[in-house]
Copies of this chain bind each other. A is one copy, B any other.
């Protein structure tokens, strides 16, 4: 049976992605199975393989939407008077996003391709934008900093905060070591700011 009239291919694709996203958000990445997605959109499992290469690709698409949402949250952070406040605002936005979307964020952190492959370029582009928000603030701290140094510094800040938050969010080893997360991130941002302000 071919029901090409009910939905066009593109519709079907987004239906599948949204169903997968719903499953991940509610029950976690490990519950996102081909059969369950298929059931939720009313198609057979095999159909998914006409839309996507893998389940991996589908998971990547879900993660892409999550990254997009975080990026949108960043763009809605109101401007601040001081760069220090701006960094704190960004970090707060980050933290509240990851706690509001715990399972989706967890999926982003824990997802692994089955066959090792380099991350898609749009993935890296998204990350670049995220770090770009930090880098932009750095120009206010130190306008004379070279482009490369600013980018590096932004990555350093981003990675250290992302690291703490990921350890806290993941159900992994060291969760108990990063409590309270909020204060730890706040203090870490302060330390970075102090370091940027000259000394």
Contacts and interface: CB of A to CB of B under 8 A. Distances in A.
Interface of A: 30, 63, 108-113, 116, 119, 123-124, 127, 131, 155-156, 158-167, 171-178, 184, 187-188, 191-192, 194-195, 199
Contact of A163 (B159, B171, B175, B187): B159
A169 to B, nearest CB: 11
Contact of A156 (B109, B113, B188, B194): B188
Contact of A167 (B163, B177, B184): B163
Contact of A112 (B110, B155, B160, B188): B110
A88 to B, nearest CB: 16
B160 A188 contact: yes
Question: Is chain A's binding surface mostly helix, strand, loop or mixed?
Answer: helix
B166 A116 contact: no
Contacts of A187: 156
Given A109-B173, A155-B177, 11 more contacts: A119-B175, A127-B176, A155-B184, A158-B177, A159-B177, A160-B164, A162-B174, A163-B167, A166-B166, A191-B195, A194-B199
A165 B159 CA distance: 9
